[in-house]
């Protein structure tokens, strides 16, 4: 596993990154998309959209239904990245695991690779399997390096308290990889991290199709109850899938009320990792439309940041 990750900072400038948007990011969190671009440009990365992308092929659904279809359709995205000559970068854990696992599986099993190639050839696409897949956190921590990020932070958010949520698929390589990068980069921005016992709990997106009550009243509610009790300024996520689920869960909880009757208002915003980074790098909330198109608007946080200045 370790071989596919870069450990040196040498080829920072040379690598061309293609940012894979996925389904949720463009349709539900445009502010995160903008913030990611601001951060990447500030850090001097060769950063652009990966174009013509499709759904990553949700592993939770398609892998159960038909693993071969999952591999082929993921192969289509990988082939596109290869054609465009970019390193595929995902910030959504779901997209990342889909691409990463499919690539690993295709490399391990030549028969599957042949099958995928065969199907893609029929659609006039060529696939060799030479593409690289990286998580946004890997790009930041391994390629850019924590020192460079620290050097770019001009406005440390020392008065902001946040809860964090890495997400299940982010833990695939172990707690020492993506979760550690997530924590260290967040600490570099100066925010105070609040620990709760439910930090590692799943957002509930994966179980939502089978039992929405567990997904919302157990997973989302428990997290937000802690957030509400501790009066944090937000829950920071990296995964768009987790944002989607939290957003949906909060909508349901706002509509139908707290099942235990203790909490009357759900007003903790869900923030994207890039937003925190962009704010700490000196961008204003208006630069990426922080309060646009959200279920819970982070007005309190915005005023706090402005007062802090």
**Closer to another protein by Cβ: residue 12 or 75:** 75
Residue of the chain from 44, 68, 126, 231 that contacts another protein (CB under 8 A): 68
Residue of the chain from 49, 148, 180, 299 that contacts another protein (CB under 8 A): 49
**Closer to another protein by Cβ: residue 54 or 151:** 54
String marking each residue 172-191 x if it binds another protein according to CB under 8 A:
x-xx----------------
Interaction between residue 161 and another protein (CB under 8 A): no
| Distance from C-alpha of 264 to C-alpha of 30, rounded to nearest angstrom | 29
Residue of the chain from 41, 209, 282, 303 that contacts another protein (CB under 8 A): 209
| Distance from C-alpha of 153 to C-alpha of 160, rounded to nearest angstrom | 15
Interaction between residue 3 and another protein (CB under 8 A): no
Q: Which residues pair with 16 in a beta bridge?
A: 46
CB 166 → another protein: shortest distance, Å? 9
**Closer to another protein by Cβ: residue 57 or 186:** 57
Interaction between residue 213 and another protein (CB under 8 A): yes
Q: For residue 105, what are the CA distances in angstroms to 6, 102, 109, 151, 233?
A: 20, 5, 6, 38, 40
Interaction between residue 306 and another protein (CB under 8 A): no
CB 22 → another protein: shortest distance, Å? 8
Closest CA to 82 of 139, 16, 6, 156: 16
Interaction between residue 302 and another protein (CB under 8 A): no
One DSSP character per residue, 73-84 reads HHHHHHHHHHHH
Residue of the chain from 256, 265, 282, 308 that contacts another protein (CB under 8 A): 256
One DSSP character per residue, 262-273 reads ------PPEEEH
Place of tokens 């450990």: 7
Closest CA to 130 of 147, 143, 113: 113
Burial 181-219 (b: 16+ CB within 10 A, else e): bbeebbebbbbeebebebeeebbbbbbbeeeeeebbbbb
Residues in 78-137 at the binding interface with another protein, rule: CB under 8 A:
80, 97, 119-120, 122-125
| Distance from C-alpha of 182 to C-alpha of 236, rounded to nearest angstrom | 10
Interaction between residue 30 and another protein (CB under 8 A): yes
Residue of the chain from 54, 151, 230, 231 that contacts another protein (CB under 8 A): 54
């Amino acid at each position: 596993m370790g071989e596919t990750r870069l450990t040196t900072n040498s080829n920072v400038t040379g690598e061309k990154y293609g940012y894979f948007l996925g389904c949720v990011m463009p349709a539900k969190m445009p502010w995160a998309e903008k913030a990611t671009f601001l951060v990447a440009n500030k850090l001097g990365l060769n950063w652009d959209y990966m174009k013509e992308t499709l759904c990553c092929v949700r592993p939770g659904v398609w892998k159960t239904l038909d693993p071969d279809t999952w591999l082929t359709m993921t192969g289509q995205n990988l082939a596109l990245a290869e054609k465009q000559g970019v390193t595929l970068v995902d910030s959504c854990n779901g997209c990342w695991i889909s691409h990463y696992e499919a690539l690993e599986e295709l490399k391990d099993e030549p028969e599957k690779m042949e099958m995928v190639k065969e199907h893609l050839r029929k659609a006039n696409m060529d696939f060799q399997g030479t593409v690289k897949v990286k998580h946004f956190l890997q790009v930041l921590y391994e390629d850019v390096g924590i020192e460079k990020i620290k050097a770019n932070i001009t406005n440390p958010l020392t008065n902001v308290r946040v809860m964090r949520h890495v997400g299940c698929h982010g833990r695939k390589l172990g707690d020492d990889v993506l979760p550690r990068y997530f924590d260290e980069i967040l600490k570099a921005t100066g925010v105070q991290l609040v620990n709760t016992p439910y930090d590692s709990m799943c957002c509930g997106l994966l179980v939502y199709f089978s039992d929405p009550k567990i997904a919302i009243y157990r997973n989302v509610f428990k997290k937000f109850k802690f957030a509400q009790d501790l009066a944090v300024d937000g829950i920071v996520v990296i995964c768009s899938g987790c944002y989607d689920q939290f957003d949906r869960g909060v909508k349901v909880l706002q509509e139908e009320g707290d099942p235990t009757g203790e909490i009357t208002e759900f007003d903790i915003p869900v923030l994207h990792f890039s937003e925190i980074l962009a704010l700490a790098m000196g961008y204003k909330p208006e630069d990426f439309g922080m309060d646009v198109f959200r279920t819970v608007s982070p007005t309190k946080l915005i005023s706090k940041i402005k007062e802090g200045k």
